[in-house]
Structure 1
Amino acid sequence: MMFEVIANADLRTHNTFGISERAERLAFVDNDRQLLEALSLANRHAWPVTLLGGGSNLVLAAPVPGLVLAMRSRGRRVVSRSGQDVIVEAEAGENWHALVNWSLDLGLCGLENLSLIPGTAGAAPVQNIGAYGVELEDVFESVEVYDRRTAVICRLYREQCRFAYRDSLFKKEPGRYVILRLRLRLSSVPHPKLEYGPLANAWRATGLQRADARVVSELVCQIRRSKLPDPSQLANAGSFFKNPLVSAEQATQLQRSWPGLPTFVQSDGRYKLAAGWLIDQAGWKGYRDGDAGVHREQALVLVNYGGARGEEIMGLAARIQSDIQQRFGVMLEMEPLLIGRRELEAGSWKLEG
């Protein structure tokens, strides 16, 4: 079935920040054939292309020229079983949390700590999504992608994807790859990861002695709901800033000045700081400027109270960055991807959740 191209489409309902910007053209693609046809159409007309997943990791700061492609491919399946290992595959347009629940229904473990993360399966590798002590790369097997540079469909494995904290090959080479489907290596035997403080406390409170992935998932959902606003009730894109990584020396100096600062040592010897704690200490929690604000319960989340534009969200973010750098000597990096005038004029693609 041929895809439909919608002219002058409002993207407000296609991004969880609820930002109303227009796409010059919008098309929904359900399969590989439609995707390749849409890319061919864009190439013929020299339209810039923006890929759109669930819209949960995106800030729109300008009208979007060219063609916006909304990935709507569906499907999930067990590919193979070998001992405890089970390889599952999901199409790029699959809802991530629905995929997690499906894996739990099959008695599989590995995704429970990543429950309730918004977005699509295809966007998960771009950001190397992570939560509560687990990152996607921990369970990642491979992705099937369309390489726009070579015009071929190929498979990329974990080592090739260059995963790092909220980073990947797909961010380092934006626009080159279109993720078609994702494979994950899960387990039929529970191996719970409960080192993260609030999750460990919640698990101990259950009194359970035997590992149970479904219970861990439910606890993660409870913690997330207590900390993060539901985008359907208050528009947001989740955590707006990455937790900054600093040297051991800088972490020690900061802790001398700020004894309560949470720090987490990394495998490379650097320390991860809690960005939300820094923002909270600087007094930004609950701040509001028009319809752009900082959530009153979680300083790491910027929110749209109704009519905020992307420029207003970014302006607030910039003020927070400047203040944190001045107070702590740390530059916060935004986590959502920005589609703004500069990026669009450069003709770059944006891949998002």
Structure 2
Amino acid sequence: MQIETGVSLKPFNTFGLPAVAGRLVRIAAEADVRRVLDHPELGLAPKFVLGGGSNVILTRDMPELVLKVEVMGRRLVETRPDAYIVEVGAGERWHDTVAWTLAQGWPGLENMALIPGTVGAAPVQNIGAYGLELQDRFESLDTVDLTTGRTVTLNALQCKFGYRDSIFKGGLAGKSVITRVRLRLPRPWQPQLGYLDIERKMTETGITAPDARTVFQWICDIRSAKLPDPAVIGNVGSFFKNPVVTPEQCRDIIARDPHVVHYPMDDGSFKLAAGWLIDACGWKGKSIGQAGVFEKQALVLVNRGAAIGSEVQTLARAIQESVYGRFGIRLEMEPVLV
């Protein structure tokens, strides 16, 4: 086990924010977690688990011991009549994994192409896009308890998935390290097409029964047109959750602004487009310091070049207050502020 000191975390967070880890240990296997816990000094130190840094806003240097998760590997573990079960190391990039499963002939993840971050971070956030969420393709995961060092396997029910939520943002926050994730890819495959942008692609191309590779390419094209590449412009993707409101709340907002973008949910509630709400408040293209709102998509906050975490935090809170003042809706941030 190698302990690195004074490590810049700027390359390890997709917003490109400056921060320094006093001490950092790279986790390549479950055994590395146990070595940390058995260490006479590190075992008792406060710890911060870092994956791909695509869902974190660093507002300070890190006195905690940073555990940089780099568990790699992908394999097919089981072929069932109704699904392929694929196991992936938590350190693997999510988008690369989506492309890999397609190359193996195991479709099912294509609607979540180009989501930034690692596979290990995907269950924490219950990532999702274009009509699909991780929980729809989830089998189980392995996590190492940061107190006992014991490896525990959790199923979907135990992970308590919700909209951009899980037990890892609640009761297990900061208490465990996800090391491997198993995905359930359905057989036979059926495309998930019930989303406006996908329907537009079908109309544009005349393809009414796309295969998985076609859907994958459509999603990549759609996201690339709307969202900045974190390698070029620092960002964490969607910064705010789309708020879910009651039918009464939705009717009240529509009465005040009939153009509000909203989607009916299975339980009778309605999901409002957070990006539309932010845009309606005039934030698109605006900045505070070097933190700004992306010109093409108001749901995305970006690093104009030299942003610091406090600027991002100030901008986010100003947007929240603005949307609340106009619509009475309190937007919730997706990334974690540290």
Identical aligned residues as a percent: 46
- Residues 283 and 209 from structure 1, CA distance in 2 versus in 1: closer, same or farther, beyond 3 angstroms? closer
2:55 aligned with 1:57: yes
TM superposition score normalised by structure 1: 0.92
Q: 2:116 matched to which residue of 1?
A: 118
2:192 aligned with 1:185: no
Q: Which residues of structure 1 form unaligned runs of 5+?
A: 340-353
Q: 1:204 matched to which residue of 2?
A: 203
Q: 2:101 matched to which residue of 1?
A: 103
Deviations 1:201-257 (A, max 9, x none): 113322234441111011000000000001111111111111011111000100111
Q: How does 1:70-85 map to 2 (within 5 A)?
A: 70-85=68-83
SS in 1 for 2:62: coil
Select between 237-246 and 37-46 the one with higher mean Cα deviation. Answer: 37-46
Distance 1:209 1:325 in 2: 40
Question: What one-letter code is carried by the residue in structure 2 that aligns with 1:220?
Answer: I
TM superposition score normalised by structure 2: 0.96
Structure 1 residue 188 displacement after superposition: 4.3
SS in 1 for 2:63: coil
2:256 aligned with 1:229: no
User: Is the 1:241–1:275 contact (alpha carbons within 8 Å) kept by the matching residues of 2?
Assistant: yes
Structure 1 residue 279 displacement after superposition: 0.4
Q: 1:302 matched to which residue of 2?
A: 301
Question: What one-letter code is carried by the residue in structure 1 that aligns with 2:269?
Answer: R
Distance 2:300 2:238 in 1: 5
- Residues 210 and 248 from structure 1, CA distance in 2 versus in 1: closer, same or farther, beyond 3 angstroms? closer
Q: Which residues of structure 2 form unaligned runs of 5+?
A: none
* Aligned-CA RMSD value: 1.4
User: Is the 1:42–1:67 contact (alpha carbons within 8 Å) kept by the matching residues of 2?
Assistant: no
User: Is the 1:122–1:181 contact (alpha carbons within 8 Å) kept by the matching residues of 2?
Assistant: yes
Q: 2:319 matched to which residue of 1?
A: 320
Question: What one-letter code is carried by the residue in structure 1 that aligns with 2:169?
Answer: K
Q: 2:246 matched to which residue of 1?
A: 247
Question: What one-letter code is carried by the residue in structure 1 that aligns with 2:153?
Answer: R
Structure 1 residue 290 displacement after superposition: 2.3
Deviations 1:30-50 (A, max 9, x none): 111112212333865632111
Distance 2:316 2:165 in 1: 20
Q: 1:349 matched to which residue of 2?
A: none
Question: What one-letter code is carried by the residue in structure 2 that aligns with 1:301?
Answer: V
- Higher relative contact order at CA 8 Å, sep ≥6: structure 1 or structure 2? 1
User: Is the 2:144–2:179 contact (alpha carbons within 8 Å) kept by the matching residues of 1?
Assistant: yes
2:274 aligned with 1:291: no
User: Is the 1:15–1:55 contact (alpha carbons within 8 Å) kept by the matching residues of 2?
Assistant: yes
Distance 2:209 2:194 in 1: 16
Deviations 1:173-219 (A, max 9, x none): 21222111001110343200100101121133222344411110110
Number of matched pairs = 337
User: Is the 1:190–1:212 contact (alpha carbons within 8 Å) kept by the matching residues of 2?
Assistant: no
Structure 1 residue 146 displacement after superposition: 1.2
Q: 2:215 matched to which residue of 1?
A: 216
Question: What one-letter code is carried by the residue in structure 1 that aligns with 2:270?
Answer: Y
